[in-house]
């Protein structure tokens, strides 16, 4: 008789109340090749304030993900206490090399997880095949597609990075319905004034 294997359940995360409590990170493929090369947009969005940061990389490996995480920790206007990512190979080895460790009680951790541990950041993973659990960053990718990539063409990567930087600043100054008409930057200021 065959029995069902119990699936890993999504760990419940309470609604973030202050900036930095939960930051969603994901990767978007830049829709069109530039000079025959593919580029990738790394996105981080704070769930409480909707403040976000974007970077363009020419790859989506571990080194790019770690560079992006370090960059966010450095420039975010708040302390990041936890992040949430999908199960991409640049973020976790949970579904590839994790179970193949020589010592099953002490599995070999992914480099991204090690950086998170060193920085005292909790790393949550969404369930496989459920991108809606990373909904804020996925929705921001749709906004990027509609408001940025569909309206611009880029001849080189420097131009793309420059325009993306402008778009990121613009996004952080757009009013959001989820923030009761505040911009992400104003939401940050409001929370910092309440906390102090």
pLDDT in tens, 51-63: 999 999 999 999 9
Higher pLDDT, 73 or 17: 73
Q: What percent of the chain has pLDDT over 70?
A: 84
**Does the predicted TM-score (pTM) go above 0.75?**
yes
Question: How many angstroms separate the CA atoms of 123 and 163, rounded?
Answer: 30
- pLDDT of res. 122: 93
pLDDT in tens, 10-38: 555 566 678 889 999 999 999 988 888 99
- pLDDT of res. 194: 58
Question: How many angstroms separate the CA atoms of 112 and 65, rounded?
Answer: 7
Burial class (CB within 10 angstroms; exposed 0-12, middle 13-18, buried 19+) of 3: exposed
Max intra-chain CA distance, the chain: 61
Higher pLDDT, 87 or 108: 87
pLDDT in tens, 107-158: 777 889 999 999 999 999 888 888 888 899 999 999 999 999 999 888 899 9
Q: Which CATH superfamily is domain 23-195 in?
A: Ribonuclease H-like superfamily/Ribonuclease H (3.30.420.10)
Question: How many angstroms separate the CA atoms of 119 and 136, rounded?
Answer: 24
Question: How many angstroms separate the CA atoms of 81 and 67, rounded?
Answer: 18
Please, which pLDDT band fits residue 167 given cuts at 50, 70 and 90?
Answer: very high
Higher pLDDT, 106 or 183: 183
Q: Which helix (H) or strand (E) holds 25?
A: strand 23-29
- pLDDT of res. 32: 87
Higher pLDDT, 19 or 67: 67
- pLDDT of res. 102: 67
Question: How many angstroms separate the CA atoms of 74 and 165, rounded?
Answer: 16
- pLDDT of res. 44: 96
Higher pLDDT, 8 or 58: 58
């Amino acid at each position: 008789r065959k029995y069902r294997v119990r699936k890993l359940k999504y760990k419940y995360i309470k609604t973030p109340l202050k900036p930095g409590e939960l930051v969603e990170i994901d990767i978007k493929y830049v829709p069109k090749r530039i000079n025959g090369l593919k580029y990738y947009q790394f996105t981080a969005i704070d769930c409480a304030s909707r403040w976000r940061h974007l970077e363009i990389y020419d790859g989506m490996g571990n080194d790019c993900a770690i560079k992006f995480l370090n960059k966010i920790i450095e420039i975010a206007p708040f302390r990041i206490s936890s992040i949430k990512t999908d199960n991409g190979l640049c973020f976790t080895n949970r579904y590839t090399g994790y179970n193949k460790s020589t010592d099953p009680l002490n599995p070999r951790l992914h480099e991204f997880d090690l950086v998170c541990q060193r920085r005292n950041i909790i790393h949550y993973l969404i369930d496989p095949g459920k991108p809606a659990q990373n909904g804020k960053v996925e929705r921001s990718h749709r906004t990027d597609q509609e408001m940025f990539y569909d309206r611009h063409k880029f001849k080189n990567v420097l131009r793309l990075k420059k325009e993306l930087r402008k778009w990121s600043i613009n996004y952080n100054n757009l009013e959001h319905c989820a923030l009761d008409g505040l911009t992400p930057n104003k939401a940050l200021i409001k929370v910092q004034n309440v906390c102090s």
